Amino acid sequence: MTDYLAELNQAQREAVLHKEGPLLIVAGAGAGKTKTLTHRILHLVRQGVEPRSILAITFTNKAAGELRERLQKLLASDDLPFASTFHSFGVFVLRNEAERLGLKKNFSIFDRDESLKTIKEAIKSLGLDPKTLEPRKVLNAISRAKSAGHNRSSFLESATSNSFFQKTVGQVWQKYNEGLHEAGALDFDDLLAETVRLFRERPEILGEYQKRFRYLHIDEYQDTNTIQYDLARLLAAAHRNVCVVGDVDQSIYSWRGADFENLLRFEEDYPEARVVTLEENYRSTQNILAAANAIIKKNTKRKEKNLFTKNGAGEKIDLLAGFDEADEAGQVAGKIAQLLAHRAKPEEIAILYRANFQSRALEEGLLRAGIAYQVLGTRFFEREEIKDMIAFLRATLNREDLFSLKRVINIPPRGIGKVTLAKIFSGNTNQLPASTQAKWQSFQTLLNEIKQMTEIMGANEVIKFVLEKSGWQKLLQAGGDDDKERLENLRELVTLAKKYDGLTGTNSTQALLDEAALVTDQDTLNEKKAGVKMMTVHAAKGLEFAHVFVTGLEQNLFPHVFMGVSDEARDEEEERRLFYVAITRAKEKLYLSYAETRTIFGGRQVNLPSEFIFDIEPELFANSLPTPLRDSVIMFWFVSHFSLILQCFTHDPCKKIFRSTLAHQQGCARENCRSWQPFGERHRARGGPGHREPYRALARSSG
């Protein structure tokens, strides 16, 4: 057996050795899926498969980069498989096939802000009021429709006779498409929608990509939406050598169109598929896994598995109960201070929360304690000066991109106002004063010079040229501290752009623009930067930390009351999956916290502890349930099930509750308690605890 196989466990080896035909790898949290995937690709290459015929698709640039780095080390070669995100692959196809689609090769990719502005203009052009017809809701509706595989026509066909909003969205969508076309641009969702359309309408082009990519690998398959699912099916149709890796228990993106049913139906799509389950966890301790298993086993729609580890039991879970969010934050900061005092690395500590608004109190707590931190989500490419430079480059490569032209025409200030801009973009430059025409001509000359630079120099040199030639650098150097910080950020962009120096012609600059358009929240995380990491649970997907704090564990916050709009049972299950993802980020120590009161929308709110806390066996906690928590539990269950409790009181075997809570718990476990049986069945069907659970909680509270 070769060395690279010897270091794998039995299940991993089984997945790696499977060469031909479809393969489903059900990979639990921390089960070494990336290692399995890279070693599988390595094995294919060792078996004579050309690296260029292997395609590996991930969901984040970070994951794709990590995959490429590992493969480069394993293969000891620069001849690597094609590893990218879904959207990066879409850009790759569309830039290659732009002419066949009637697009320019250097088409712009609109970010959300630019798409939103285009939607607003579309609404106004139809004589509608943006205050009444909220542009953000319209854009979200269009985005969801594209992710679900709809174009404008099919979207309108699905509208009911009384669906005024859907029909209005269809009208705006038409104008929105016209705006994108005029700008020579696609939006983020188009990158996949247009790729799928191209493959369906031009089977000969699809055949070319099927011939090249004979082996397809897709990570996080449970997070695919309809259009991603369609793309994968089209690519795999010819050879059926498709390997997908996923875990229903970690499906947490239904709000953006992800459908874990794609993973569950894989064996229906490919009846000959091999299924391998990875259950050995290499990340966490057994206590953490026991909590995770207890949480997720209550879900009904999943692939059964039970994580285990050889890491040992590890430390028990700490439960922190705060009076309010400030007290909770203070306790979290206190625990972190203790960890740091015992030489824990701050970058190995993470604070997770369900909603972004929770970060304020937690940040204040860390600031008071003098603890450095980093909040995930402040994107480098979203800084104004970076967006300005990106707009310069986009306007250079795509003169039809009026958004970019408008953004930079006065950087540095040239005295070109709105009226002048309107005349310029309507083609009436001859109506402008001679001095204004000269300013406009000077700007065009600058863009032409930048364009020439993009054809002979790398993106980093182009950026330096823009800074110097435009006078922008001189302006920032003469400014205050804020301007100097902006200049430093632009110089950091120069450093970032150096990695594309090996590309020729305009490809270097275009590659930088594509990276800017496709960046995700996780790409902003500087793992080497000293400081505690703060982020939402959604943003923490795929990451791991030695010490993890999961905060805000209150009913209606986590699980969130507003999660989802359809199937109630499924929504509850997604919240449980989200909590499962949160606690499985921890390697050594897990902390859970909640606040008894919290200010939300300006009002003070009394909270019940999250039901998730009581899904975990009490022996896994380092401390007993705090008194306020015990009282809240009693009140929670009594109020929630008052009518059922009254029914139970009329049932003779259940009257023992007055004598002994524990006796009732045991006595009511049998099927003869008819009053409770319907409730138990209904609650279990929704993924909740059985009918014994209220009394289990009461028994715990009674000592």
Measured CA to CA, the distance from residue 657 to residue 680 in angstroms comes to 18
Cβ-contact 32, 278 below 8 angstroms: yes
Token digits of residue 194: 């247009």
220 is catalytic: yes
Whether 219 is a known active-site residue: answer yes
Catalytic site residue from 33, 298, 486, 533: 33
Cα Rg of the chain (Å, integer): 28
Q: What residues have CB less than 8 Å from 582, skipping those under 6 apart?
A: 352, 537, 540, 548, 550
The answer to whether the CB of 147 falls within 8 A of the CB of 256 is: yes
Distances (CA, A) of 44 to 215, 217, 294: 9, 12, 38
27 burial type by CB count under 10 A (0-12 exposed, 13-18 middle, 19+ buried): buried
Catalytic residue, chosen from 14, 189, 194, 220, is: 220
Per the residue annotation, which of 14, 187, 219, 596 is the catalytic one?
Answer: 219
Using DSSP, state whether 387 is helix, strand or coil.
helix
Task: Please identify which of the residues 335, 585, 587, 630 carries the catalytic annotation.
Answer: 585
Query: Tell me, what amino acid is at 427?
Result: G
Q: How far is the C-alpha of 17 from the C-alpha of 10, rounded, in Å?
A: 11
- Establish how many alpha carbons lie within 13 A of residue 686's alpha carbon, considering only the half-sphere containing its beta carbon: 14
- By the 10 Å C-beta count (0-12 exposed, 13-18 middle, 19+ buried), 355 is classed as middle
Q: Which of 382, 356, 362, 379 is nearest to 537 (CA)?
A: 356
Whole-number Å distance between alpha carbons of 671 and 677: 7
> Which one of 34, 166, 599, 605 is the catalytic residue?
34
Q: Tell me how far apart the alpha carbons of residues 636 and 625 are, in angstroms, rounded to a whole number.
A: 15
- What helix, strand, coil percent values describe the chain, rounded to 5? 55, 10, 30
Sign of CA dihedral 22, 28, 32, 34: positive
In this structure, the chain runs to a length of: 703
34 is annotated as an active-site residue: yes
Question: In terms of Cα–Cα distance, which of 323, 405, 403 is closest to 627?
Answer: 323
Neighbours of 293 (CB within 10 A): 18
Catalytic choice (224, 228, 250, 665): 250
Q: How many helices (H) and strands (E) does the chain have?
A: 32, 16
> Is 113 annotated in the active site?
no
Question: Strands, DSSP E only, in 28-85?
Answer: 54-58, 82-85
> Roughly what angle, to the nearest 10 degrees, separates helices 568-583 and 286-296?
180
Strand, coil or helix: what is 276? strand
Compute CA distances 366 → 151, 232, 549, whole Å: 48, 44, 13
Backbone angles phi, psi at 478, to 5 degrees: -85, -5
Residue 659 DSSP label: T
652 counts as catalytic: no
Q: Which of 108, 121, 111 is nearest to 143 (CA)?
A: 111
Question: Is 655 one of the catalytic residues?
Answer: no
Beta bridge partners of 589: 547
Contact 70, 38 (CB under 8 A): yes
Cβ atoms of 492 and 312 within 8 Å: the answer is no
If you search the block for the tokens 């809701």, which residue do you land on? 137
* Active centre residues (catalytic): 33-34, 219-220, 250, 585
